[in-house]
């Protein structure tokens, strides 16, 4: 079964230069926060896999939430649009992002969560029938409009001298129909992203990802990594 899935991905990637999809996607094991955390780091750009500022995500879970701590190293711009607020197009400036799906398949529906250097968040369900953002298929978006009431929170710390930006976030397990206390043993697909842009380079962004997609488009779910809550 898994062989035929891999075969399909490999055949698809024969058409690509990088052939990145042929390799298996990256994996992470993340424990309960009371025990520790799983950590990934990335430094490759999307889609050409050139150098990209080091970015880290620490992952763990508690009874009610997924904890994601995003750390941007080598950050010099801290660029956001101060007139934007919850669920605005903060992704046009600098953000760190997670795309999250509870399950093991390449999803058509997933949560897109983003945080900006001024602690503004974007949270929406994405329905992309094509799984790769084919131009013929609509990418529908359903916003979560009460993030604080839902328990979607961020705490953001900027250190301009150290060139770091840290956003410690929580995302409720219940959004994914995982009941309180039931996260241990669950399997997930996730990818993590960061955009880099300054007032001088806007709107041309540098894009980076845990598992870089093969186009300048994050919405390609065959590239999501495997995450297991242990
Ligand atoms: C990127 O990978 C996807 C999924 O395997 C594939 O459908 C698409 O054709 C690839 N795009 C390019 C530019 O290689
Ligand atoms: C990028 O990350 C890899 C793997 O974590 C590491 O081996 C490499 O030294 C890093 N490259 C740079 C330029 O930091
Ligand atoms: C910031 O966002 C506002 C509202 O969307 C927009 O009118 C303005 O042009 C943006 N400013 C910059 C510098 O991009
Ligand atoms: C960021 O937003 C959260 C709510 O998501 C809030 O609790 C926090 O105080 C805000 N400020 C900072 C600096 O993190």
Q: Is 22 exposed, middle or buried (0-12, 13-18, 19+ CB in 10 A)?
A: middle
pLDDT score for 131: 75
Strand partners, 27: 226
In-domain check, residue 101: yes
Strand partners, 100: 111, 190
Number of Cβ within a 10 Å radius of residue 204: 8
Is 81 touching ligand 3 by the criterion CB < 6 Å?
Answer: yes
Classify strands 96-102 and 65-72 as parallel, antiparallel or unpaired: unpaired
Look up the CATH number of the domain holding residue 115: 2.60.40.1190
Find the 92 Cα to ligand 4 centroid distance in Å: 21
In-domain check, residue 18: no
In-domain check, residue 215: yes
Is 29 touching ligand 4 by the criterion CB < 6 Å?
Answer: no
pLDDT score for 23: 57
In-domain check, residue 9: no
* Domain, as residue range, for 45: 27-229
- Scan for tokens 């230069």, then name that residue: 17
In-domain check, residue 3: no
In-domain check, residue 22: no
- Scan for tokens 């604080």, then name that residue: 148
Closest atom of ligand 1 to CA, residue 15: 14
Ligand 1 atom 12: residue of nearest CA = 16
Residue 8 reports pLDDT greater than 80: no
pLDDT in tens, 28-55: 999 999 999 999 999 999 999 999 999 9
Residue 143 reports pLDDT greater than 50: yes
Q: Look at the chain and report how many structural domains it folds into.
A: 1
Find the 126 Cα to ligand 4 centroid distance in Å: 24
- H or E element in which residue 39 lies: strand 38-46
The proportion of the chain whose per-residue pLDDT surpasses 70, expressed as a percent, equals 88
């Amino acid at each position: 079964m898994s062989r035929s899935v891999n075969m399909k991905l490999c055949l698809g990637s024969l058409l690509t230069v990088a052939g990145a999809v042929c390799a298996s996607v990256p994996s992470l094991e993340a424990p309960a926060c009371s025990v520790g955390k799983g950590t990934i780091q990335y430094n490759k750009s999307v889609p050409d896999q050139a150098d990209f500022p080091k970015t880290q995500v620490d992952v763990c879970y508690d009874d009610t939430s997924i904890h994601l701590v995003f750390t941007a190293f080598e950050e010099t711009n801290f660029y956001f649009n101060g007139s934007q607020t919850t669920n605005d197009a903060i992704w046009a400036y600098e953000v760190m992002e997670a795309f999250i799906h509870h399950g093991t398949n390449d999803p058509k529906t997933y949560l897109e969560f983003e945080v900006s250097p001024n602690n503004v968040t974007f949270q929406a369900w994405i329905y992309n029938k094509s799984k790769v953002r084919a131009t013929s298929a609509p990418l529908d978006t359903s916003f979560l409009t009460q993030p604080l009431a839902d328990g979607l929170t961020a705490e953001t710390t900027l250190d301009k001298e150290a060139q770091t930006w840290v956003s410690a976030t929580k995302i409720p397990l219940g959004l994914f129909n995982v009941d309180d206390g039931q996260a241990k043993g669950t399997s997930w697909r996730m990818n993590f992203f960061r955009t880099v842009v300054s007032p001088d380079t806007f709107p041309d962004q540098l894009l980076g990802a845990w598992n870089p997609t093969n186009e300048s488009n994050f919405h390609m779910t065959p590239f999501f990594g495997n995450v297991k809550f242990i």
